[in-house]
Chain A
Amino acid sequence: MIIHSERGPLAGRRTSSAVAGVTAASERKLALWNIGFAYTAFLIGTFCGLLQVFMRNEMIQLPAWLDYYQVLTVHGVTLALVYTTFFIYAFLITGMSKALGSFGPKVARWSWIGFFVAAAGTVWATIEILSGRASVLYTFYAPLKASGWFYVSLALLIIGTWIISFALIAHYVKWRKANPGIMSPLFAFMTISTLAMWIIACLGVVAAVVFMYIPWAFGWVDTINVELSRTLFWFFGHPLVYFWLLPAYMAWYLVVPKLLGTKVFSDSLARLSFLLFILFSIPVGLHHQLTEPGVADFWKFLQVTLTFMVVIPTLMTAFSLFATFEISGRQKGAKGLFGWVSKLPWNDIRFTSLFIAMVFFIPGGAGGIINTSFQLNEMVHNTLWVVGHFHITVGTPVAMTFMGISFWLIPYLTGRTLTKTTKKLAFIQIISWSVGMLFMSTAQHVLGLLGAPRRTQHSNYSDHPTVLGWFDGFFSNTATLALGGIILFFSAMLLMVIVFRLWLIEPRSEKGDLYAEFPIAESDASATPRWLENWWIWIGIAVALILLAYTFPITHMIQDAPPGSKGFINW
């Protein structure tokens, strides 16, 4: 494999948003390791999902050494934290190597180290959970107390991601120095925005784990400040969901136009929307704590307002995407208002998967606006509605985008191709996931509005009439949830077959093979204002907003704290 060196001043000068070279061999290997790790987690996690839907219908009984909440903890950790995170780094590593040129030895070394640290933390956390020392769910709310090592392992996972993040940032800084005065390629810009947000967001959970949970779990201190620990968790918890979403947006902004044969709709607006995510995705965590005491209404409502602001970049994104569709359709000769719809490449699984992912995000986003509408949160908080909500935000728009990326990223990395058979399987996989998710998430939304709780094993609550309504009707039925879950599991296993084939079985790709390419659209940065890439301005505003939203509530929680809580192991 010949590695084209696209580093150095020339690469950038040719075009500022250069669709530079190819990804170097060592980065390919690292990306593949990340993908392998991600899909191992996916396999375990979706199997847990299947167990959950069965257990919620009393269709199976677990062996004595395993209980529902252990299974649920594993499901949340493997899918929400591990599958997403490792897949994201595979995507970013490959793309950064392609967009900015291959990694230098230091960047390469540190990204491997970061991977191993994160992987070690993950494996360790899984062992702690399965051995029954950490049935605390992936949110690990105090004063439920897991073993101290569980928190250490989580810290390792985060530190690992920081190491990779800083390695990627270093790669970018080097490129900037070599290419003074030029806007970076859009892929790199979006990567850096995502990582900047991630690093700031993690400060909350790292502070909680290092200064509160670990000393408490090892018995160095007796008690923990519960409300503060929750608040620091959600300081991290909401931007966490944007950390999943932004890489999917990157694919929507950059991959989709390439597949349609057109350019990015507007370079400057794409950049602006990512910057708005840095600003508004962090100072909003209190919208997860709207129904709890210890935070004054004023601060809750302020963060609700800021949460509404974070909808705006998504509105911009929606417009850009439709505009991309329409412009490409019209270039291909589409007439009338909606002629462009039929010009979209529906036979291209790389496109169709991403398109369906976007469609799911419409009700997903609408549900999010409802959840954050202050008192409306009382309708849905901790009910199955929320579970339905995040399966049509992270569980489908994000996960299905990652599936769609896998269909070309794995061939790109392994040098294989996507054959006709696998392509058919991929269509069946995407469609079955959509159908399964439609059943499961709709049932969850409806059951939630009827008051059915989330994170709860089957219970008939002494046969109260309210409960009968959860097993009656079509969508208001726990059995429909299970039906969807079974279809989803089928789809997940099919995906594993596809991944396996793309990795090891498919024939080698030939030159010019579309599926063995990394599709990045061109983005015309010639009219993009320079100040958009002045990170200090944006990080400065982000910090100011965080201080505005959090200083008072957190100071209050510390200075006016009630006596702390000792730990409880209720399992």
Chain B
Amino acid sequence: MKKNKNPHEADLRGTLISVLVVGVLIAVMWAAVYAMYVAL
């Protein structure tokens, strides 16, 4: 039972994974365009 009142102790595993997925997405997009640039 995780029912913490204080949001700082809240269970945020889903959040962490979500933002990391977003981060990876950004990195992939950036790397793709960078690779295209270098190939020119």
Residues of A that sit less than 8 Å from B by CB: 263, 265-266, 315, 318-319, 322-323, 325-327, 330-331, 337-341, 362-363, 365-367, 369-370, 373, 375-376, 378-380, 449
CB-defined contacts of B3 to chain A, threshold 8 Å: 330-331
CB-defined contacts of B2 to chain A, threshold 8 Å: 330
Q: Which residue of B lies closest to A368 (CB)?
A: B26
* Interchain CA distance A363-B19 in the complex, whole Å: 13
CB-defined contacts of B19 to chain A, threshold 8 Å: 315, 318-319, 322
CB-defined contacts of B11 to chain A, threshold 8 Å: 326, 330
* Interchain CA distance A330-B22 in the complex, whole Å: 21
Known: A318-B19, A369-B30, A378-B37. A323 touches B25 (CB 8 A): no
Known: A378-B37, A449-B36. A370 touches B30 (CB 8 A): yes
Which of A319, A365, A380, A449 sits near B26, CB closer than 8 Å? A365
Residues of B that sit less than 8 Å from A by CB: 2-3, 7-8, 10-15, 17-19, 22, 25-26, 29-30, 33-34, 36-37, 40
Contact B15 A326 (CB under 8 A): yes
Which of B7, B13, B14, B30 sits near A265, CB closer than 8 Å? B7
CB-defined contacts of B37 to chain A, threshold 8 Å: 375-376, 378-379
**Nearest chain A CB to B34 CB, angstrom units:** 6
Q: Which residue of B lies closest to A262 (CB)?
A: B7
* Interchain CA distance A266-B2 in the complex, whole Å: 19
**Nearest chain A CB to B35 CB, angstrom units:** 11
CB-defined contacts of A376 to chain B, threshold 8 Å: 33-34, 37
Query: Could you list 4 further interchain pairs (A-B, Cβ under 8 angstroms) beyond the known A322-B15, A330-B2?
Result: A318-B22, A322-B14, A330-B10, A373-B30
CB-defined contacts of A325 to chain B, threshold 8 Å: 15
Which of A337, A362, A366 sits near B30, CB closer than 8 Å? A366
Contact A363 B29 (CB under 8 A): yes
CB-defined contacts of A367 to chain B, threshold 8 Å: 29
* Interchain CA distance A339-B13 in the complex, whole Å: 11
Known: A330-B2, A363-B29. A337 touches B22 (CB 8 A): no
Known: A378-B37, A379-B37. A337 touches B13 (CB 8 A): yes
Contact A366 B12 (CB under 8 A): no
Which of A319, A339, A362, A375 sits near B15, CB closer than 8 Å? A319
Jot down 14 A-B pairs with beta carbons below 8 A, ordered by A. A318-B22, A327-B10, A337-B13, A339-B14, A340-B14, A366-B29, A367-B29, A369-B26, A370-B29, A373-B30, A373-B34, A376-B33, A376-B37, A379-B37
* Interchain CA distance A322-B19 in the complex, whole Å: 8
Most chain A Cβ neighbours within 10 Å, of B8, B17, B22: B22
CB-defined contacts of A370 to chain B, threshold 8 Å: 29-30, 33
Known: A327-B7, A375-B37. A366 touches B14 (CB 8 A): no
CB-defined contacts of A331 to chain B, threshold 8 Å: 3
* Interchain CA distance A557-B11 in the complex, whole Å: 54
**Nearest chain B CB to A383 CB, angstrom units:** 12
Q: Which residue of A lies closest to B34 (CB)?
A: A376
CB-defined contacts of B7 to chain A, threshold 8 Å: 263, 265-266, 323, 327
Known: A318-B22, A366-B25. A326 touches B10 (CB 8 A): yes
Known: A266-B7, A326-B12, A340-B14. A362 touches B22 (CB 8 A): yes
* Interchain CA distance A362-B36 in the complex, whole Å: 21
CB-defined contacts of B36 to chain A, threshold 8 Å: 379, 449
Contact B10 A337 (CB under 8 A): no
Which of A266, A315, A323, A379 sits near B33, CB closer than 8 Å? A379
* Interchain CA distance A363-B33 in the complex, whole Å: 13
CB-defined contacts of A369 to chain B, threshold 8 Å: 26, 30
5 residue pairs, one from A and one from B, having the closest CB atoms: A322-B15, A366-B26, A366-B29, A323-B15, A322-B18
CB-defined contacts of A380 to chain B, threshold 8 Å: 33
* Interchain CA distance A367-B33 in the complex, whole Å: 10
Q: Which residue of A lies closest to B27 (CB)?
A: A366
CB-defined contacts of A323 to chain B, threshold 8 Å: 7, 10, 12, 15
* Interchain CA distance A325-B15 in the complex, whole Å: 8
Most chain A Cβ neighbours within 10 Å, of B15, B22, B29: B15
CB-defined contacts of A365 to chain B, threshold 8 Å: 26
CB-defined contacts of A362 to chain B, threshold 8 Å: 22, 25-26
**Nearest chain B CB to A127 CB, angstrom units:** 41
* Interchain CA distance A380-B33 in the complex, whole Å: 10
* Interchain CA distance A341-B18 in the complex, whole Å: 11
Q: Which residue of B lies closest to A340 (CB)?
A: B14
CB-defined contacts of A315 to chain B, threshold 8 Å: 19
CB-defined contacts of A337 to chain B, threshold 8 Å: 13-14, 17
**Nearest chain B CB to A24 CB, angstrom units:** 33
* Interchain CA distance A300-B17 in the complex, whole Å: 35
* Interchain CA distance A338-B33 in the complex, whole Å: 31
* Interchain CA distance A217-B1 in the complex, whole Å: 71
Q: Which residue of B lies closest to A336 (CB)?
A: B14
Q: Which residue of B lies closest to A380 (CB)?
A: B33
* Interchain CA distance A339-B14 in the complex, whole Å: 9
* Interchain CA distance A102-B29 in the complex, whole Å: 47
CB-defined contacts of B18 to chain A, threshold 8 Å: 322
* Interchain CA distance A537-B30 in the complex, whole Å: 35
Contact B22 A338 (CB under 8 A): no
CB-defined contacts of B26 to chain A, threshold 8 Å: 362, 365-366, 369
